[in-house]
Amino acid sequence: MFKLFGSSKIAAADLSFLGVDMHSHLLPGLDDGLKTLDQTISFMQQLQAMGYQKFICTPHILSDMHPNTPETILPKLDLVRNELAKQSINIQVEAAAEYMIDLEFEQLIESGKQLLSFGPNNYVLIEMSYMAESPNFEKVIFNLQMKGLKPIFAHPERYTYFHGKFSQYERLIDLGCVLQVNLLSLSGYYGKEVKKAAELLFKKNMVSFLGTDMHHDKHLSMLKELAVKKDFLSLVSKAELLNKTLLS
């Protein structure tokens, strides 16, 4: 009789060594991520099946394009938590933000208004444009720390203007940031050069967090493929990642 799957077992995607995802666009209808509450619940369940226990969702805050505030983000967190409870799904969810380093963010820090931070070290997730570095990034990193906040620099491997200038990554750490690499950077999803930069950061033991940066279906299916790859697992298993320190 025809044997459909043969004798070899298909490995299950297991990211339980991470436990917590601290960079995603899973909250519905806030940015260029997921659009509906149903999608949010479905993605969270599929990620839970891969070993995640907790999601710290980080919608973009980016001037006119994604003008989010705690007032737009926190009600969506309530909505998701209520739906999970209604369906008796046991997943921990928190919300913060992914702040674009621009003039508005610099002014927001100076204004003393609430910033969405998370974790035991009051982490704040920050990013720059993929086109050019933010001229005020050093000032912003300094000012965040003056407020008792610890900056997590999102996906530094994706800034092509840093490629070939390894000292830029060292500079971010010297300034007081910890680095968060995107899981899909290690799959080649964003290109060969990004993959190379991500691998180098791992080899130099400079990565503190791995995040999904999940926006849509393609990201989820690519993540499922990546999570069973042996070379990926052997690279990241040697790193001293802090994701699990965010489990409360």
What residue ranges bind Fe ion (CB under 5 A)?
A: 98, 213
Beta bridge partners of 94: 56
Closest CB to Fe ion among residues 166, 189: 189
Burial of 204 (0-12, 13-18, 19+ CB in 10 A): exposed
Minimum gap (Å) between residue 26 Cβ and Fe ion: 11
DSSP string, 122-166: TEEEEE--SSS--TTHHHHHHHHHHTT-EEEEE-GGG-GGGTT-T
Closest CB to Fe ion among residues 14, 217: 217
Minimum gap (Å) between residue 213 Cβ and Fe ion: 4
Minimum gap (Å) between residue 190 Cβ and Fe ion: 12
Closest CB to Fe ion among residues 94, 98: 98
Torsion of CA 157, 69, 149, 51, to 10 degrees: -60
Minimum gap (Å) between residue 57 Cβ and Fe ion: 10
**Long-range own/partner contacts, residues 166-174 (CB < 8 A, 24 or more apart):** 166/200, 169/201, 169/206, 170/206, 172/141, 173/206
Closest CB to Fe ion among residues 94, 213: 213
- Residue pair 91/55 in contact (Cβ under 8 Å)? The answer is yes
How far is 103 from 134, CA to CA, in rounded Å? 9
Closest CB to Fe ion among residues 27, 227: 27
Minimum gap (Å) between residue 86 Cβ and Fe ion: 28
Closest CB to Fe ion among residues 131, 174: 131
Minimum gap (Å) between residue 167 Cβ and Fe ion: 25
- Nearest position to Fe ion, beta carbon: 213
Instruction: Number of helices (H) and strands (E) in the chain: give both, helices first.
Output: 8, 9
User: In the numeric block, which tokens belong to residue 178?
Assistant: 């910890």
Q: How many residues make up the chain in this entry?
A: 248
How far is 235 from 230, CA to CA, in rounded Å? 9
